Protein backbone atom coordinates (compact mmCIF):
# COMPACT_ATOMS: atom_id res chain seq x y z
CA UNK A 1 0.00 0.00 0.00
CA UNK A 2 1.41 3.40 -0.97
CA UNK A 3 1.13 6.40 1.29
CA UNK A 4 0.24 9.87 0.00
CA UNK A 5 3.89 10.95 -0.45
CA UNK A 6 4.83 7.78 -2.34
CA UNK A 7 1.86 8.24 -4.68
CA UNK A 8 3.04 11.78 -5.36
CA UNK A 9 6.59 10.52 -6.03
CA UNK A 10 5.27 7.85 -8.43
CA UNK A 11 3.02 10.30 -10.25
CA UNK A 12 6.00 12.66 -10.66
CA UNK A 13 8.30 9.89 -11.97
CA UNK A 14 5.80 8.87 -14.67
CA UNK A 15 4.93 12.45 -15.55
CA UNK A 16 8.58 13.48 -15.88
CA UNK A 17 9.46 10.41 -17.92
CA UNK A 18 6.59 11.07 -20.32
CA UNK A 19 7.73 14.68 -20.78
CA UNK A 20 11.49 14.07 -21.10
CA UNK A 21 11.82 10.33 -21.82
CA UNK A 22 14.84 10.14 -19.51
CA UNK A 23 15.22 8.15 -16.26
CA UNK A 24 13.99 10.21 -13.30
CA UNK A 25 16.25 10.75 -10.26
CA UNK A 26 15.29 11.61 -6.66
CA UNK A 27 16.64 15.14 -7.16
CA UNK A 28 14.41 15.56 -10.23
CA UNK A 29 11.39 14.49 -8.18
CA UNK A 30 12.20 17.09 -5.49
CA UNK A 31 12.63 19.80 -8.13
CA UNK A 32 9.20 19.13 -9.59
CA UNK A 33 7.04 18.49 -6.52
CA UNK A 34 6.23 20.22 -3.26
CA UNK A 35 7.43 17.24 -1.21
CA UNK A 36 9.05 18.68 1.93
CA UNK A 37 11.38 15.76 2.62
CA UNK A 38 15.04 14.98 2.05
CA UNK A 39 16.56 13.36 -1.01
CA UNK A 40 17.24 10.27 1.13
CA UNK A 41 13.52 9.93 1.92
CA UNK A 42 12.61 10.18 -1.76
CA UNK A 43 15.31 7.62 -2.64
CA UNK A 44 13.78 5.23 -0.11
CA UNK A 45 10.36 5.83 -1.67
CA UNK A 46 11.80 5.04 -5.10
CA UNK A 47 13.30 1.80 -3.73
CA UNK A 48 9.89 0.80 -2.38
CA UNK A 49 8.21 1.67 -5.69
CA UNK A 50 10.80 -0.47 -7.47
CA UNK A 51 10.28 -3.36 -5.05
CA UNK A 52 6.52 -3.16 -5.65
CA UNK A 53 6.99 -3.16 -9.44
CA UNK A 54 5.90 0.40 -10.24
CA UNK A 55 9.32 1.55 -11.54
CA UNK A 56 12.63 -0.02 -12.50
CA UNK A 57 16.25 0.83 -13.24
CA UNK A 58 17.76 0.81 -16.70
CA UNK A 59 21.26 0.97 -15.16
CA UNK A 60 22.25 0.75 -11.50
CA UNK A 61 23.44 4.37 -11.34
CA UNK A 62 20.57 5.86 -13.35
CA UNK A 63 17.18 7.14 -12.27
CA UNK A 64 13.95 5.17 -12.56
CA UNK A 65 11.54 4.66 -15.43
CA UNK A 66 7.91 3.54 -15.06
CA UNK A 67 6.81 -0.06 -15.55
CA UNK A 68 3.42 -0.95 -17.02
CA UNK A 69 2.12 -1.02 -13.45
CA UNK A 70 3.44 2.52 -12.93
CA UNK A 71 1.81 3.73 -16.15
CA UNK A 72 -1.47 2.13 -15.05
CA UNK A 73 -1.34 3.99 -11.71
CA UNK A 74 -0.70 7.23 -13.59
CA UNK A 75 -3.52 6.65 -16.12
CA UNK A 76 -6.00 5.80 -13.33
CA UNK A 77 -4.94 8.94 -11.45
CA UNK A 78 -5.46 11.06 -14.57
CA UNK A 79 -8.92 9.55 -15.20
CA UNK A 80 -9.86 10.15 -11.57
CA UNK A 81 -8.80 13.80 -11.85
CA UNK A 82 -10.79 14.18 -15.07
CA UNK A 83 -13.93 12.75 -13.45
CA UNK A 84 -13.64 15.07 -10.47
CA UNK A 85 -13.12 18.13 -12.68
CA UNK A 86 -15.94 17.05 -15.03
CA UNK A 87 -13.75 17.60 -18.11
CA UNK A 88 -15.60 15.17 -20.38
CA UNK A 89 -19.15 16.59 -20.21
CA UNK A 90 -18.80 19.88 -22.07
CA UNK A 91 -19.45 18.50 -25.54
CA UNK A 92 -21.05 20.83 -28.08
CA UNK A 93 -23.94 19.72 -30.26
CA UNK A 94 -22.95 18.53 -33.72
CA UNK A 95 -23.66 21.35 -36.16
CA UNK A 96 -26.11 21.14 -39.00
CA UNK A 97 -24.27 22.08 -42.17
CA UNK A 98 -24.89 21.43 -45.88
CA UNK A 99 -21.82 19.34 -46.77
CA UNK A 100 -22.76 16.32 -44.63
CA UNK A 101 -20.82 13.20 -45.64
CA UNK A 102 -20.28 10.49 -43.03
CA UNK A 103 -17.23 8.94 -44.72
CA UNK A 104 -15.52 12.31 -45.02
CA UNK A 105 -16.28 13.18 -41.40
CA UNK A 106 -14.83 9.88 -40.12
CA UNK A 107 -11.73 10.27 -42.31
CA UNK A 108 -11.18 13.88 -41.25
CA UNK A 109 -11.73 12.96 -37.61
CA UNK A 110 -9.07 10.23 -37.77
CA UNK A 111 -6.71 12.66 -39.50
CA UNK A 112 -7.37 15.36 -36.89
CA UNK A 113 -6.62 13.00 -33.99
CA UNK A 114 -3.37 11.83 -35.59
CA UNK A 115 -2.24 15.37 -36.30
CA UNK A 116 -3.08 16.55 -32.78
CA UNK A 117 -1.56 13.55 -30.97
CA UNK A 118 1.55 11.39 -31.65
CA UNK A 119 -0.64 8.34 -32.33
CA UNK A 120 -2.10 6.06 -34.96
CA UNK A 121 -5.89 6.34 -35.15
CA UNK A 122 -8.35 3.75 -36.42
CA UNK A 123 -12.08 4.50 -36.69
CA UNK A 124 -14.41 1.70 -37.75
CA UNK A 125 -17.48 2.50 -39.81
CA UNK A 126 -20.98 1.11 -39.32
CA UNK A 127 -21.52 -2.05 -41.41
CA UNK A 128 -24.69 -1.84 -43.49
CA UNK A 129 -24.65 -4.59 -46.13
CA UNK A 130 -26.86 -7.22 -44.46
CA UNK A 131 -29.22 -4.81 -42.67
CA UNK A 132 -32.74 -4.06 -43.90
CA UNK A 133 -33.66 -0.49 -44.76
CA UNK A 134 -36.31 0.88 -42.42
CA UNK A 135 -36.67 4.29 -44.03
CA UNK A 136 -35.18 6.59 -46.64
CA UNK A 137 -35.36 10.30 -45.87
CA UNK A 138 -34.67 13.15 -48.28
CA UNK A 139 -33.91 16.33 -46.41
CA UNK A 140 -33.60 19.67 -48.23
CA UNK A 141 -30.58 21.08 -46.38
CA UNK A 142 -30.50 24.30 -48.41
CA UNK A 143 -31.73 25.58 -51.77
CA UNK A 144 -29.05 23.63 -53.66
CA UNK A 145 -28.31 20.65 -51.39
CA UNK A 146 -30.20 17.51 -50.42
CA UNK A 147 -29.17 15.12 -47.66
CA UNK A 148 -30.10 11.50 -48.28
CA UNK A 149 -30.41 9.42 -45.10
CA UNK A 150 -30.65 5.62 -45.02
CA UNK A 151 -32.04 4.35 -41.72
CA UNK A 152 -31.72 0.60 -41.04
CA UNK A 153 -33.61 -1.78 -38.78
CA UNK A 154 -31.07 -1.30 -35.96
CA UNK A 155 -30.96 2.47 -36.24
CA UNK A 156 -27.56 2.46 -37.97
CA UNK A 157 -27.51 5.00 -40.73
CA UNK A 158 -25.54 6.31 -43.64
CA UNK A 159 -25.98 9.76 -45.06
CA UNK A 160 -24.51 11.99 -47.71
CA UNK A 161 -25.29 15.45 -48.97
CA UNK A 162 -25.47 16.13 -52.71
CA UNK A 163 -25.71 19.16 -54.95
CA UNK A 164 -29.18 18.60 -56.41
CA UNK A 165 -31.98 21.09 -57.03
CA UNK A 166 -35.38 19.46 -56.50
CA UNK A 167 -38.58 21.25 -55.53
CA UNK A 168 -39.95 20.51 -52.05
CA UNK A 169 -43.16 18.84 -53.30
CA UNK A 170 -41.26 16.71 -55.83
CA UNK A 171 -38.86 15.67 -53.09
CA UNK A 172 -41.75 14.46 -50.93
CA UNK A 173 -43.14 12.39 -53.81
CA UNK A 174 -39.73 10.86 -54.60
CA UNK A 175 -39.23 9.99 -50.92
CA UNK A 176 -42.64 8.29 -50.81
CA UNK A 177 -41.83 6.29 -53.95
CA UNK A 178 -38.39 5.18 -52.67
CA UNK A 179 -39.84 4.07 -49.33
CA UNK A 180 -42.60 2.10 -51.07
CA UNK A 181 -40.11 0.45 -53.43
CA UNK A 182 -37.06 -0.20 -51.24
CA UNK A 183 -37.99 -0.32 -47.54
CA UNK A 184 -37.76 -3.85 -46.11
CA UNK A 185 -34.95 -4.86 -48.46
CA UNK A 186 -31.34 -5.35 -47.37
CA UNK A 187 -28.55 -3.12 -48.68
CA UNK A 188 -27.27 -6.09 -50.72
CA UNK A 189 -30.74 -6.58 -52.29
CA UNK A 190 -31.03 -2.89 -53.11
CA UNK A 191 -27.54 -2.98 -54.63
CA UNK A 192 -28.66 -5.73 -57.03
CA UNK A 193 -31.91 -3.90 -57.88
CA UNK A 194 -30.00 -0.71 -58.71
CA UNK A 195 -27.87 -2.68 -61.18
CA UNK A 196 -30.98 -3.68 -63.17
CA UNK A 197 -31.45 -1.18 -66.05
CA UNK A 198 -34.96 -2.48 -66.78
CA UNK A 199 -36.17 -1.57 -63.28
CA UNK A 200 -35.00 2.00 -63.81
CA UNK A 201 -36.05 2.48 -67.43
CA UNK A 202 -39.44 4.14 -66.61
CA UNK A 203 -37.60 6.89 -64.69
CA UNK A 204 -35.05 7.75 -67.38
CA UNK A 205 -34.31 11.48 -67.42
CA UNK A 206 -36.33 12.23 -64.27
CA UNK A 207 -35.39 13.29 -60.74
CA UNK A 208 -36.12 9.71 -59.64
CA UNK A 209 -33.27 8.50 -61.87
CA UNK A 210 -30.97 11.07 -60.24
CA UNK A 211 -32.00 9.79 -56.82
CA UNK A 212 -31.30 6.19 -57.87
CA UNK A 213 -27.81 7.31 -58.93
CA UNK A 214 -27.30 8.97 -55.54
CA UNK A 215 -28.44 5.84 -53.68
CA UNK A 216 -26.13 3.70 -55.81
CA UNK A 217 -23.22 6.00 -54.92
CA UNK A 218 -23.98 5.81 -51.17
CA UNK A 219 -24.34 2.01 -51.20
CA UNK A 220 -21.19 1.40 -53.26
CA UNK A 221 -19.12 3.66 -50.98
CA UNK A 222 -20.48 1.95 -47.84
CA UNK A 223 -19.10 -1.38 -49.10
CA UNK A 224 -15.55 -0.19 -49.79
CA UNK A 225 -13.65 0.86 -46.67
CA UNK A 226 -14.95 -0.49 -43.36
CA UNK A 227 -12.37 1.38 -41.28
CA UNK A 228 -10.02 4.33 -41.63
CA UNK A 229 -6.37 4.39 -40.47
CA UNK A 230 -4.34 7.56 -40.02
CA UNK A 231 -1.07 8.44 -38.29
CA UNK A 232 1.03 5.26 -38.55
CA UNK A 233 3.95 7.54 -39.40
CA UNK A 234 3.74 8.96 -35.87
CA UNK A 235 4.72 5.57 -34.46
CA UNK A 236 7.63 5.15 -36.88
CA UNK A 237 9.36 8.22 -35.43
CA UNK A 238 8.92 7.14 -31.78
CA UNK A 239 12.23 5.84 -30.41
CA UNK A 240 10.51 3.89 -27.60
CA UNK A 241 8.76 1.61 -30.11
CA UNK A 242 10.92 -1.16 -31.57
CA UNK A 243 10.72 -1.67 -35.32
CA UNK A 244 9.69 -5.35 -35.18
CA UNK A 245 6.65 -4.62 -33.00
CA UNK A 246 5.75 -1.69 -35.25
CA UNK A 247 6.11 -3.78 -38.41
CA UNK A 248 3.69 -6.40 -37.04
CA UNK A 249 1.18 -3.74 -35.97
CA UNK A 250 1.26 -2.03 -39.38
CA UNK A 251 0.73 -5.37 -41.15
CA UNK A 252 -2.24 -6.11 -38.86
CA UNK A 253 -3.78 -2.67 -39.39
CA UNK A 254 -3.51 -2.87 -43.16
CA UNK A 255 -5.02 -6.37 -43.47
CA UNK A 256 -8.80 -6.27 -42.78
CA UNK A 257 -9.15 -9.89 -41.58
CA UNK A 258 -6.20 -9.52 -39.21
CA UNK A 259 -7.41 -6.14 -38.04
CA UNK A 260 -10.89 -7.37 -37.05
CA UNK A 261 -9.37 -10.36 -35.26
CA UNK A 262 -7.05 -7.90 -33.46
CA UNK A 263 -10.03 -5.66 -32.60
CA UNK A 264 -12.09 -8.58 -31.26
CA UNK A 265 -9.25 -9.53 -28.91
CA UNK A 266 -9.80 -6.27 -27.01
CA UNK A 267 -13.11 -7.79 -25.90
CA UNK A 268 -16.43 -6.07 -25.41
CA UNK A 269 -16.34 -2.56 -23.98
CA UNK A 270 -19.34 -0.42 -23.11
CA UNK A 271 -17.43 2.80 -22.39
CA UNK A 272 -13.86 4.00 -22.83
CA UNK A 273 -11.02 1.60 -22.11
CA UNK A 274 -7.22 1.89 -21.80
CA UNK A 275 -4.65 -0.89 -22.28
CA UNK A 276 -1.00 -0.35 -21.36
CA UNK A 277 1.88 -2.56 -22.50
CA UNK A 278 1.57 -6.10 -21.13
CA UNK A 279 -2.14 -5.52 -20.33
CA UNK A 280 -2.95 -5.97 -24.04
CA UNK A 281 -4.62 -9.30 -24.87
CA UNK A 282 -2.78 -9.27 -28.22
CA UNK A 283 0.80 -10.49 -28.61
CA UNK A 284 3.54 -7.99 -29.50
CA UNK A 285 1.78 -4.92 -28.05
CA UNK A 286 4.14 -4.37 -25.09
CA UNK A 287 5.61 -1.07 -26.43
CA UNK A 288 2.15 0.44 -26.96
CA UNK A 289 -0.79 1.97 -25.14
CA UNK A 290 -4.29 1.69 -26.62
CA UNK A 291 -7.28 3.95 -26.00
CA UNK A 292 -10.70 2.71 -27.12
CA UNK A 293 -14.02 4.54 -27.21
CA UNK A 294 -17.26 3.32 -28.84
CA UNK A 295 -19.70 5.59 -30.63
CA UNK A 296 -23.39 4.77 -30.49
CA UNK A 297 -26.97 5.29 -31.60
CA UNK A 298 -29.71 4.61 -29.01
CA UNK A 299 -27.11 3.06 -26.68
CA UNK A 300 -26.13 0.52 -29.37
CA UNK A 301 -22.44 0.57 -30.37
CA UNK A 302 -22.10 1.08 -34.12
CA UNK A 303 -18.37 1.80 -34.37
CA UNK A 304 -15.15 2.29 -32.42
CA UNK A 305 -12.39 4.85 -32.13
CA UNK A 306 -9.03 3.17 -31.44
CA UNK A 307 -5.97 5.30 -30.68
CA UNK A 308 -2.56 3.60 -30.35
CA UNK A 309 0.61 5.31 -29.15
CA UNK A 310 3.69 4.82 -27.05
CA UNK A 311 3.31 4.06 -23.34
CA UNK A 312 5.12 7.34 -22.63
CA UNK A 313 2.28 9.57 -23.83
CA UNK A 314 0.24 12.48 -22.49
CA UNK A 315 -2.55 10.34 -21.02
CA UNK A 316 -4.72 13.30 -20.03
CA UNK A 317 -4.71 14.77 -23.51
CA UNK A 318 -5.23 11.43 -25.26
CA UNK A 319 -8.06 10.31 -22.96
CA UNK A 320 -9.80 13.71 -23.15
CA UNK A 321 -9.58 13.96 -26.96
CA UNK A 322 -10.52 10.33 -27.61
CA UNK A 323 -13.59 10.58 -25.36
CA UNK A 324 -14.49 13.90 -26.98
CA UNK A 325 -14.34 12.36 -30.47
CA UNK A 326 -16.44 9.39 -29.33
CA UNK A 327 -19.05 11.80 -27.96
CA UNK A 328 -19.07 13.89 -31.13
CA UNK A 329 -19.50 10.85 -33.40
CA UNK A 330 -22.33 9.64 -31.16
CA UNK A 331 -23.96 13.07 -31.54
CA UNK A 332 -23.51 12.99 -35.31
CA UNK A 333 -25.09 9.56 -35.77
CA UNK A 334 -27.86 10.33 -33.28
CA UNK A 335 -28.60 13.51 -35.24
CA UNK A 336 -28.72 11.55 -38.49
CA UNK A 337 -30.90 8.86 -36.94
CA UNK A 338 -33.38 11.52 -35.81
CA UNK A 339 -33.21 13.11 -39.25
CA UNK A 340 -34.08 9.71 -40.71
CA UNK A 341 -37.11 9.50 -38.39
CA UNK A 342 -38.57 12.85 -39.46
CA UNK A 343 -42.01 12.23 -40.90
CA UNK A 344 -42.80 14.27 -43.96
Any bridge partners for residue 133, and if so which?
152
Any bridge partners for residue 274, and if so which?
291
Q: Is 325 helix (H, G, I), strand (E, B) or coil?
A: helix
Residues 146 and 215 sit within 8 Å (Cβ to Cβ): no
For 196, other C-beta atoms within 10 Å of its C-beta total: 9
Strands 300-310 and 120-124, how do they pair?
Answer: antiparallel
Q: Please name which of 43, 64, 62 lies closest in space to residue 53, comparing C-alpha atoms.
A: 64
Q: Is 287 helix (H, G, I), strand (E, B) or coil?
A: coil
The secondary structure of residue 278, as a DSSP letter, is G
- For the stretch 236-245, contacts whose Cβ atoms lie closer than 8 Å and that sit 24 or more positions apart, written own/partner, are 238/118, 238/309, 238/310, 239/21, 240/21, 240/287, 240/310, 240/311, 240/312, 241/287, 241/288, 241/310, 242/287, 244/284, 245/284, 245/285, 245/286, 245/287, 245/288
Query: Cα–Cα distance between 290 and 279 in angstroms, integer?
Result: 10
Q: Would you give per-residue pLDDT tens digits along the chain (344 residues)?
A: 899 999 999 999 999 999 999 999 999 899 888 888 888 999 999 999 999 999 998 776 678 999 999 999 999 999 988 877 655 444 444 444 444 567 778 888 999 999 999 999 999 987 666 667 888 888 888 888 888 888 776 565 677 788 777 888 888 888 888 888 888 888 778 777 777 777 667 777 777 777 888 777 777 766 656 899 999 999 998 999 999 999 999 999 999 899 999 999 999 888 899 999 999 999 999 999 999 999 987 788 888 999 999 999 999 999 999 999 999 888 887 776 666 554 43
Question: Per-residue pLDDT tens for 288-341?
Answer: 999 999 998 778 888 899 999 999 999 999 999 999 999 988 888 777 666 655
List the alpha helices (DSSP H) in the chain.
4-20, 26-31, 39-51, 68-85, 102-116, 168-182, 187-195, 197-200, 207-222, 232-236, 243-253, 256-265, 315-341
Edge-to-edge strand order for the sheet containing 227-230?
227-230, 120-124, 300-310, 288-297, 273-276
Q: Which pTM value belongs to this model?
A: 0.76
The CATH homologous superfamily of the domain defined by 102-125+226-340: GAF domain (3.30.450.40)
Query: Cα–Cα distance between 315 and 338 in angstroms, integer?
Result: 34
Distance separating the N- and C-terminal Cα atoms of the chain? 63
CATH level 2 (architecture), domain 4-85 = Orthogonal Bundle (1.10)
Per domain, the residue ranges of the chain are 4-85, 102-125+226-340, 133-224
Candidates 3.40.250.10, 3.30.230.10, 3.40.50.1000, 3.30.390.60; correct CATH number of 133-224? Answer: 3.30.390.60
Amino acid sequence: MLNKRQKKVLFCVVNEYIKNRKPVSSSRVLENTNIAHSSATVRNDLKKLEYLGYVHHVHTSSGRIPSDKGYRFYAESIMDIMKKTDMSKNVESFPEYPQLNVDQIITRTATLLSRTLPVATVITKPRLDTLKIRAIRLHKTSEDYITVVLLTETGIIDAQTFLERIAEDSLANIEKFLNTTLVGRTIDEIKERLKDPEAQRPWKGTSVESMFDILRSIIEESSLETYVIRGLENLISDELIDQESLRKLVLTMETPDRFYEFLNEYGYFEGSKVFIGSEHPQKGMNPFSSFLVPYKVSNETIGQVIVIGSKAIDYQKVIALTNYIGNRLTELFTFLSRLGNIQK
